[in-house]
Amino acid sequence: MTVNPPMSETPENDDVLLESTTLSTQPAAVQPPSGFGPRSLLRWAWRQLTSMRTALLLLFLLALAAVPGSLLPQQGNAPADVADWISRHGALGRLFERLSLFHVYSSPWFAAVYLLLFVSLIGCVVPRTRLHWRALRSRPPASPRNLSRLPVTRSFTTTATPQEVLDAAHRSLRRRRFRVDRLVGSVAAEKGYFRETGNLVFHLALVALLVGVAIGALYGTRGSAIVVEGSGFANTVTRYDSFSAGPLANPQRLDPFSFTLNKFSASYQEGGKQNGAPRSFTADVTVQDSPTATPRSQVVQVNEPLVVGGTKVFLVGHGYAPVVTVRDGEGRVVFSDAVPFLPRDGMFTSTGVIKAPDARPTQLGFQGIFLPTASIDPVRGPLSTFPAANDPALFLSLWKGDLGLDTGAAQSVYRLDVSRMTRVGLEAMRPGESWTLPDGLGTITFDGIKQYAALSIAQDPGKGIALGSVVVAIAGLLLSLFVPRCRVWVRATADDEGTTLVEIGGLARTEAGGLESEVDALRSDLPDEAAPGAREPIEEYR
Amino acid sequence: MTAHTFAYLSNDLVYSAMATLTLALLAFSAELAFGDRGRVARTSRLTVHRVPVAAAVGAGAAPVDVDTPDVAEPSEVDLPESTRSAKFGGIGFALTVLSFVLLLAAVVFRGLAAGRAPWGNMYEFSLASALVVTGAYVIAVWRRPVLRLLGVFIVVPVLLTLGLAVTVLYVDAGPLVPALKSYWLVIHVAAAIISGGIFTLGGAVTVLYLLQERWERRGISNSLSRRLPESEQLDRTAYRLFAFVFPLWTFAIVAGAIWAENAWGRYWGWDPKETWALVTWVVFAGYLHARATAGWKGRRAAMIALLGLSAFLFNYFGVNIFFTGLHSYGGLPNK
């Protein structure tokens, strides 16, 4: 038993030994273009693109390209932060915007990197699939002339005939699930083909994953909506607060369901370091899967979305909606509704706006701060100290004048355009209280509080393909990493003294190990002395 | 016992583990400091070197020649148990095993105190990661005794992690925010923690490989180089660790994506945590490719692995602390 020194001469069976250093059936290194014709140049470019080195480079580029999107705010996740970043950094911000750095993952250069990577992957995998298919149907490579050059070797002499030895080797290797080829005077065997199969399956599954992602991006839709307790939601585009659809999706054909939010409840950690941390959110809804279906009750929670057809409704947030009634100077009710306020901190200090464009003599607007558990911070002003509505208060500042709604420009329901208004009053209110507005402008009543659920509604027809692909990919990955692939040859030669010299050579084609024990097991199956009765030879000569 | 008692017990166990780990670090450092073997040890090498070999080969280790005496190169067989330095190493390892047991108990009691899987915030995640790194090291040494020399490289990051956990990241045991109430927490985060442990171990082996490879190339011989396995063997060990962890990390990402789909309605949203998980994945995919590419094997591949480990560590520490994303559930009070 010896561990061989590195090979110093050209081995007889070059390809067999060379492969052991590349660990793969990957085609040989890229040659420079042999001519300057467009054909040869194209061939050269294609070979370059599909070489392992290029794949490596593209992998690093992909990793590198993904980084800025995590460092800079992204349009998709935080549009407000993007605008803020640009305005704070001036020229740099505008330059970054032109470089798509605020939507990295949908930018042309990011797409270029991953598409090139996938082209390179396909260009690599397709020829390898062909090679592997051929290898699967061909015999293991013939025995090299000098088995002692192989990395793992054993040799011994026996009184058994070469025929007996080779028969025993054949049986032993078969039992060990080797593919065995019987040659004149030797046996060649290989196993572990599943390794390359797994490798190819893994890479093809990645292509399928990309297809799944693309289908989702092209045909998927998603949007968000705020639904106040007691009110409903119908799954049509107009009911969404924000809505985005893939270029091939049909927003007119969304799943025709609707639901009513009966009650929203939340509980929070009381006291301790994590005071105010949310502990549970529950939305009780009544769902109708289609306009004609019978309504059913369901509870929607974080991690437990409402599923209707291919659409899922997720609970992603919540907040308070103070219910107010505004009467104008003439005593008419010009506004009466629950107004969703947006939370500004973890304790649900929330801000919102009430607009009464129909009020006379002038239009009225209110900027409000809602505090579920009210306190006044000497520095920061009105502040909530707990997210539950234990001691609610509504702080309103009253503006009169032109709300600017008649210009036709779209206006946020959460912002008051005060450019043509004047502030005329400030008041803190408790639920049930009314405020008689100054200058005979009317009254406002703080009727009560409702909660709202912020919902995300999404359908992604590609996600099944994506999930199936990654499951297959992981299976392929496991095969490609853990199946050892190796070749074993056994040669038996009769010598002058009437005994048989047996040589075993093993070549691991992977780093998975286990070849030594494989060869040792084979060795122990071979006869050390002649059998009493000759066995039937196995007739499989090449 | 009440949840409160469990919580205190868990905290005490963490401090105990930190104490034993500090002692282990001292012992491991002493092992390196007293590393130079005397002449007696040197001559006794051949007589001692067979015992660990049997253990190593039994664990499916690489081919090691036991029978031919001329192959007496210092390979993984070099653990002269009789020397002073080795004694320190043995003490260090014993203390590390003790620390592992203490940490295991700390994690279990933390789980009992909170009444859930004990990895719901950064503190608990750090605790579990420290446990996994220590455990991976203990198992690695059990299977290949020569890896005991990794001790310092394992104990230092574990101690740093625990130190950070008890000082900066600590939060009382308690229930979870609703977003984390899912059995996917157990699956996804457990896979991520185990991956993290093995990434760290692989990184430590890779550092040793780079050192040893450099010393071999320059013909430098010092107390550490003489007792380390050959660089080729370190390289192979690192590869096996990374090859083992890569599918697990893939699974951790996929499990996270499935959970994200269930909680937020999209399986991938380029949240900083997701992005850096993918960056880590892509870099290690690069590592596996580099291993099979001529000209990239060895040192270059090792550098790629260390790059991947840095991406992982940045994802673990950096993203939770510096970024605001959906994964910022460190449990730390807002500023």
Domains, chain A, ordered by start: 12-138 (no CATH), 145-192+484-542 (3.30.310.80), 218-318+457-471 (no CATH), 319-452 (no CATH)
Which residues on B lie below 8 Å from A278 (Cβ)?
A: 177-178
Q: Do B247 and A478 touch (CB under 8 A)?
A: yes
Minimal Cβ distance to A63: which of B269, B282, B319: B282
Q: Is the pLDDT of residue B3 over 90?
A: no
A512 or B170, greater pLDDT:
B170
For residue A474, which amino acid is it?
Answer: I
Size of interface A-B (CB pairs under 8 A): 161
pLDDT at position A532 is 59
Of A102-111, A235-244, B54-63, least confident by mean pLDDT is B54-63
Helix or strand holding residue A450 (H, E) = strand A442-459
Mean pLDDT of A358-386: 89
Q: Do A56 and B293 touch (CB under 8 A)?
A: yes
pLDDT at position A5 is 36
Of A431-435, A493-497, A521-525, B156-160, least confident by mean pLDDT is A493-497
From A444's Cα to the closest Cα of chain B, the distance in A is: 35
- Calpha distance A339→A337 (Å, rounded): 6
The sheet with strand A350-356 has its strands ordered as: A342-343, A350-356, A363-371, A393-401, A421-429
Q: Is the pLDDT of residue B159 over 60?
A: yes
Q: Is the pLDDT of residue B82 over 60?
A: no
Of A407-421, B174-188, B214-228, least confident by mean pLDDT is B174-188
pLDDT at position B317 is 76
- Calpha distance B66→B150 (Å, rounded): 24
Least Cα distance to A330 among A296, A295, A361, A298 occurs for: A361
Q: Residue A507's Cα: distance from chain center in Å?
A: 39
Minimal Cβ distance to B265: which of A63, A312, A511: A312
pLDDT grade, residue B326 (50/70/90)?
low
Q: Is the pLDDT of residue A418 over 50?
A: yes
* Phi–psi pair at B39, nearest 5 degrees: -65, -35
Minimal Cβ distance to A314: which of B182, B263, B279: B263
- Tens digits of per-residue pLDDT, A439-482? 889 999 999 999 999 999 999 999 999 999 999 999 999 999 88
Residue B292 touches chain A, beta carbons under 8 Å? yes
From A485's Cα to the closest Cα of chain B, the distance in A is: 14
Those of residues 179-198 in B touching chain A at CB distance below 8 A are 179, 181-182, 184
* Phi–psi pair at B3, nearest 5 degrees: -60, -35
Mean pLDDT of B312-335: 61
- Calpha distance A403→A357 (Å, rounded): 7
Contact indicator for A322, A393 with CB cutoff of 8 Å: no
Q: Fill in the DSSP letter of residue A390.
A: S
* Dihedral in degrees, nearest 10, Cα atoms A504, A176, A13, A497: 30
pLDDT grade, residue B1 (50/70/90)?
low
Q: What's chain B's Rg over C-alpha atoms? A: 21
Q: Is the C-alpha dihedral spanning A516, A520, A523, A525 positive or negative? A: negative
CA–CA distances in Å: residue A310 to residues A164, A225, A457, B259, B263: 66, 18, 11, 17, 16
pLDDT at position B325 is 52
Q: Is the pLDDT of residue A485 over 80?
A: yes
pLDDT at position A428 is 92
**SS3 for A211?**
helix
Q: Do B282 and A3 touch (CB under 8 A)?
A: no
Q: Is the pLDDT of residue A484 over 90?
A: no
Crossing angle of helices A193-219/A108-137, nearest 10°?
150
Residue B217 touches chain A, beta carbons under 8 Å? no
- Tens digits of per-residue pLDDT, A297-341? 999 988 889 999 889 999 888 999 999 999 988 889 999 999 999
Q: Do B172 and A274 touch (CB under 8 A)?
A: yes
Residue A223 touches chain B, beta carbons under 8 Å? no
Mean pLDDT of A6-29: 40
Of A102-106, A199-203, B3-7, B76-80, least confident by mean pLDDT is B76-80
pLDDT grade, residue B263 (50/70/90)?
confident
Those of residues 369-408 in A touching chain B at CB distance below 8 A are none
Q: Do B286 and A56 touch (CB under 8 A)?
A: yes
pLDDT at position A36 is 67
- Calpha distance B205→B241 (Å, rounded): 9
Q: Do A66 and B63 touch (CB under 8 A)?
A: no
Q: Is the pLDDT of residue B295 over 70?
A: yes
Residue B220, both tokens: 């430098």
Residue B91 touches chain A, beta carbons under 8 Å? no
Those of residues 75-114 in A touching chain B at CB distance below 8 A are 76-77, 104-105
Least Cα distance to A237 among A262, A255, A217, A219 occurs for: A255
Q: Give the whole-number percent of chain B exceeding pLDDT 90.
A: 30
Q: Is the pLDDT of residue A16 over 60?
A: no
Q: Which residues of B211-235 are buried (b: 16+ CB within 10 A; e: fewer)?
A: bbbebeeeeeeeebbebbbbbebbb
Contact indicator for B250, A473 with CB cutoff of 8 Å: yes
pLDDT at position B251 is 95
Task: Name the residue of chain B whose CA is nearest to A463's CA.
Answer: B267
pLDDT at position A533 is 52
Characterize the bridge pairing of strands A421-429 and A393-401.
Answer: antiparallel
From A356's Cα to the closest Cα of chain B, the distance in A is: 35
Q: Is the pLDDT of residue B100 over 60?
A: yes
Helices (H) and strands (E) in chain B, counts: 14, 0
Those of residues 239-258 in B touching chain A at CB distance below 8 A are 239-240, 243-244, 246-247, 250-251, 254, 257-258
Q: Please state, rounded to an integer, the average pLDDT across all residues of chain A.
A: 85
From A305's Cα to the closest Cα of chain B, the distance in A is: 7
Residue A531, both tokens: 């059998």
Residue A18 touches chain B, beta carbons under 8 Å? no
pLDDT grade, residue A3 (50/70/90)?
very low
Mean pLDDT of A174-203: 91
Query: Cβ–Cβ contacts within 10 Å for residue A94, how many?
Result: 12
Query: Cβ–Cβ contacts within 10 Å for residue A449, how many?
Result: 18
Contact indicator for A55, B289 with CB cutoff of 8 Å: yes
A37 or A391, greater pLDDT:
A391
Those of residues 497-526 in A touching chain B at CB distance below 8 A are 511, 513-514, 516-517
pLDDT at position B327 is 53
Q: Do A517 and B333 touch (CB under 8 A)?
A: no
Mean pLDDT of B171-197: 81
Q: Do A63 and B67 touch (CB under 8 A)?
A: no
Q: Is the pLDDT of residue B116 over 60?
A: yes
**SS3 for B12?**
helix
Contact indicator for A231, A453 with CB cutoff of 8 Å: no
Task: Name the residue of chain B whose CA is nearest to A307's CA.
Answer: B262
Q: Is the pLDDT of residue A489 over 90?
A: yes
Residue B308, both tokens: 């991947």
pLDDT at position A229 is 94
From A210's Cα to the closest Cα of chain B, the distance in A is: 12
Contact indicator for B275, B282 with CB cutoff of 8 Å: no
Q: Give the whole-number percent of chain B exceeding pLDDT 70.
A: 79
